[in-house]
Amino acid sequence: MNRCVLVMAMSFVFLAAGCSPKKESSAAKPTAFGVAIVESSGGKQFAETGALLPQPLVVQVNDEQGNGVSGALVEFAAPAGVSLDPAYALTDSSGQVTTNVSLADMAGRYHIAASTFDKSHKKVEVKIEEIALGYQQRLGRRLNEQYCDRCHNPESTVERVSNFDNLEVKPHPFAEGDTLNNMSDSDLNAIITYGGAAINKSALMPAWGNTLSKADIQALIAYIRAVSDPPSRAAGPFYENK
Amino acid sequence: MKKNLTSLWQKFFGDSVRAFGVVGLIFLASMAIAPSKNFFSEWRHYQRAYLRTIRNRSDANTLERHFQGGIQQIWLPALDVVDRCTTCHVGLKEASMTDVATQPFRKHPVIPHNLDQFGCTICHRGQGAATNVAEAHNSTLAWEQPILPAKYIESSCGQCHRGALPGTPQLNLGRSLLARQGCVHCHTVKLPEGSTMKAIDDPPSLSHIADKTTREWIFAWLKDPQAYASTATMPNFQLSDENARDISAFLIANSTPVTDDTLKVSVKPSSDPAAGASLYGESFCASCHAVQNAAGNIVGGDVGPELTRIGNKVKPEWLQGWIRNPRIYDSGTAMPHYRFTDAQVATLSGFLLAKTDSDFLSKVHLDPATSEQIAHGKRLVSDYGCASCHEIAGIKKPENFAPELSHIGSKPITQLIFLAGMKHTLPDYIAGKIKQPRAFSPGLKMPQYTFTPAQIDALTTALLSLNERSYTLSASLAVPAVTESDYQPAGKAGKLMSDLACFSCHRINGHGSTMAPDLTWEGSSVQREWLAQFLKNPGTLRPALIRRMPRFNLSDSEINELTDYIMTVYQNPNIDRDSMPLSGYPPGEVELGKQLFYGKYSCQGCHIVDTKTDKGYIGPTLTHIGSRLTAPWTYQWMKNPQSLRPGTMEPNRAMSDEDARALTAFLMSQTGGKQSPVAPKAARKPSPRQEVATK
């Protein structure tokens, strides 16, 4: 049994080693090379585990002047279970490549690498982070939308006017990892349950302990940890391409 | 050759001792296969890997103490669960294993249920009794149930939870799409609790269609509904030109006029676009109807049809009749009867008729219909099941037009026909069918929908939840849905309320929409004078909301009728309107309330009392609150807002009676400068303290 697996694994490695460069060169041959690759849009999105990200991921290959290079080959690499459609492509007329990303089945942060080669065949790479939310974080996200977002999110939309600017003491947006990562779970729990005044912060933050259940508050904390930037250690593992 | 074999035989089995020895060795060797197979089994490999993983962790001792070698099993006879998953997924219950990225060792993410109570396969599917990776997770020849991809996991919640859950947005969306997008008009879906899923969309009757629109428009619409309105619910039946021509011929020929004089009243549509736009805005048409703006964005609600090209569709005289009183053409419509004046009808119809796309019908030229075409059109209408959704005079609604979808979540894979290149799993099959139904066979009648990938996943999730287990589950596990009540207000006021379509926005006694506030306890909540004034000329209560109450041009007698009914019937049994006065509170109590408002409870974060200093933009503006709400309602709202309006955003602050009273006194003093109308009567001492039952 073991040997069988070993043989299969080795033959797969050989096959992969033998096939992949060939496939690349035949399917997409770069006609141009850039010097840098940058993320245009689609980074730091949230989706539930296993689901398609709401927006596609767009990267751009630039030349020395920072202008887009058309016809450069961009390859995406992602941890196991993440699907990329397409996994590689040539940049379009504005120097961009667009790919649709579905995250894998585990909650956590996923690093997707987009790379291209410059003229001297040196690899340049940009890493893009996407976040898969598990059940608890998803529940937290919904509670955030219902109760917290109106004040904690400074962005207004047509349907939802933000109250952020109206507040004398500004609330912390949940992505503000520099501040929120330094607060322990029990501090966050206290401020949500008993209000800002309970830990000598602004009384504009009301107490939610009689409105939300303990599980709801845990879910909110899990959500805050999941979206913080820089990432919080409590948010779980990173998934990198090995 | 033969000689060699004979000598070999002689060598091993020449005499009985030799034969005995050799046979014994063979037996020994074959007996060793079983233990070695066991030793090299996958699960032992994972358990050894787990022990290596935890060895260097700081909590190695605890983890090693928890570790149990050998095959593990969760056995729940009542649920028919025998799950050996924990044999390899060793760290599922270890709180510290959240940071482990390598499977199968990571802790299970937090969910509302206990693993020991439900096992694994109830949610994840797969083969619980298997002890190797392929058999447990994948669909092999022997097993029908592959592991469920994570993106459909909410379908498993739906096996027991038949209603919407806060934690299952995808399942909720999928279920509402089934009811809202017309799926259940054609497909019967029997729910596990025995009822049949009902459609909640309201496809228009086509019996009087010729009053409303032209044959050319019907033709263009049939060819591509989304070309007329990108948000159209009607799917694309991919009809040929001939078929669309014949169906439109039949529908027009089959249509009978609505006989009512009020329809014929016609005024000249006004050509004042500015007045039209402002009337459209004031009447809050956009709360229900959307229009595509210049940037291509759809702006507005999705209760009524999109109006971007309405001028291409409707006949002017029909539109005027509709604006005047929609209930004459369609008695059950969700649109209110606005009681517009003739001038307003002219303004609004002129504004709407100008919403046209000059290219839209320019290529449609239809010759007069022949009787063969009309007869063919009638056959097509039956063939395509148009009457499953639309009322069409002379055509019966077909029964079981499309395959029943009950139990679809357990359909055996052997009964499915897959497309080339498709993964052979049930979720992929369902998603593929929804995405491109005609790809499975050109003869299929199912039309092409314009669902987004997220909507397809949601629909697939909802359908997967209709599996065998959900129907056979013991009743004690099922969590039934909250069903919509069929509440209808009685009498003259009731008639008035259906004429105004109050329930299209408001909810009362478990019936109606949630777009606007629930009015179940409105009579306990507001003061009569305020309500009458508000119905006459609705003002802005919540500045941040874009959907507001429109003005209906109600007559004084209609306002009286409605106000009396609401004040009498919509009373909360736990609130005595006369238990607390509107004014006459001691100044000290009002002052204490003010301090609490700005200090301890910092209400100004969300509300405005003093327009000069307060900026809170979430809750209603409170500058006139003392002339709007009753004191007992305000007091009870302070004590527990959710007891009066479940799900309201205002947090329950668990106030003491004194705080709630002081805040009530302060808020009742906010009358926008006006004297409270009942001030003298209320001067008596406000006692005894009323106790309101808190739920």
Write down the pLDDT at residue A8.
52
Peptide bond into B316 cis (omega under 30): no
Summarised one tens digit per residue, pLDDT across range B191-219 is 988 889 999 888 999 999 999 999 999 99
Residue B626 in contact with residue B582, Cβ under 8 Å?
Answer: yes
Closest residue to B167, CB basis, from A139, A161, A202? A139
Select from B107, B91, B100, B86 the least CA-distant residue to B43.
Answer: B86
Residue A225 in contact with residue A176, Cβ under 8 Å?
Answer: no
Closest residue to A159, CB basis, from B151, B546, B600? B546
Report the mean per-residue pLDDT for chain B.
88
> String of b and e for B525-554 (b: at least 16 CB within 10 Å)?
bbbeebbbbbbbeeeebeebbebbbbebeb
φ, ψ at B173 (rounded to 5°): -60, -45
How many Å apart are CA B378 and CA B366, to the nearest integer?
A: 18
Q: Identify the band that residue A177 occupies on the pLDDT scale cut at 50, 70 and 90.
A: confident
Summarised one tens digit per residue, pLDDT across range A61-92 is 999 888 889 999 999 999 888 999 899 999 99
Q: A208 and chain B: CB distance < 8 Å anywhere?
A: yes
Q: A225 and chain B: CB distance < 8 Å anywhere?
A: no
How many Å apart are CA A214 and CA B591, to the nearest integer?
A: 35
Neighbours of A17 (CB within 10 A): 9
Task: For residue B314, give the DSSP letter.
Answer: B
Summarised one tens digit per residue, pLDDT across range B296-316 is 888 888 899 999 999 999 999
Cβ–Cβ below 8 Å for A197 and B601: no
Select from B70, B74, B79, B110 the least CA-distant residue to B93.
Answer: B110
How many Å apart are CA B440 and CA B431, to the nearest integer?
A: 12
For chain B, state the CA radius of gyration.
35
Q: Identify the band that residue B512 occupies on the pLDDT scale cut at 50, 70 and 90.
A: very high
How many Å apart are CA B586 and CA B668, to the nearest integer?
A: 12
Residue B494 in contact with residue B500, Cβ under 8 Å?
Answer: no
Write down the pLDDT at residue B556.
94
How many Å apart are CA A106 and CA A85, to the nearest integer?
A: 19
% of chain B with per-residue pLDDT over 90: 58
Higher pLDDT, B97 or B210: B210
Closest residue to A50, CB basis, from B41, B109, B150? B150
Neighbours of B28 (CB within 10 A): 9
Q: A52 and chain B: CB distance < 8 Å anywhere?
A: yes
Cβ–Cβ below 8 Å for A135 and B167: yes
Rounded to two decimals, the pTM is: 0.87
Q: Over 50: is that where the pLDDT of A23 sits?
A: no
Write down the pLDDT at residue A118.
87
Write down the pLDDT at residue B689.
38
Task: For residue B432, give the DSSP letter.
Answer: H
Q: Over 90: is that where the pLDDT of B243 sits?
A: yes
Select from B433, B378, B177, B210 the least CA-distant residue to B386.
Answer: B378
Assembly ipTM: 0.82
Closest residue to A203, CB basis, from B170, B600, B606? B600
Write down the pLDDT at residue B3.
80
Give the best residue of B151, B161, B291 to mutate against chain A (max A CB count within 10 A). Answer: B151
How many Å apart are CA A86 and CA B385, to the nearest integer?
A: 39
Distances (CA, A) of A31 to A71, A117, A215, B582: 5, 11, 55, 80
Task: For residue B97, give the DSSP letter.
Answer: G
Write down the pLDDT at residue A232.
79
Residue B528 in contact with residue B562, Cβ under 8 Å?
Answer: no
Average pLDDT over residues A200-224: 93
Q: Which amino acid is at B504?
A: S
For chain B, the 3-state helix, strand and coil shares in percent, each to the nearest 5, are 45, 5, 50
Write down the pLDDT at residue A147.
93
H helices of B515-656, in order, are 522-525, 528-536, 556-569, 587-598, 631-639, 641-644
B488: left (phi over 0), alpha (psi -120 to 50) or beta: beta
Q: Which residue has the tokens 């004042």?
A: B272
Summarised one tens digit per residue, pLDDT across range B104-161 is 888 898 889 998 999 999 999 988 888 888 888 887 655 678 899 989 999 999 999 9
Neighbours of A203 (CB within 10 A): 18
Write down the pLDDT at residue B250.
96
Q: B134 and chain A: CB distance < 8 Å anywhere?
A: no
B511: left (phi over 0), alpha (psi -120 to 50) or beta: beta
How many Å apart are CA A217 and CA A184, to the nearest integer?
A: 14
Nearest CA in chain B to A149: B618
Contacts of A82 in chain B (CB under 8 A): none
Number of Cβ pairs < 8 A linking chain A and chain B: 113
Residue A76 in contact with residue A28, Cβ under 8 Å?
Answer: no
Q: Sign of torsion, CA A217 A218 A219 A223?
A: positive
How many Å apart are CA B102 and CA B104, to the nearest integer?
A: 6
Contacts of B107 in chain A (CB under 8 A): none
Contacts of A134 in chain B (CB under 8 A): 109-110
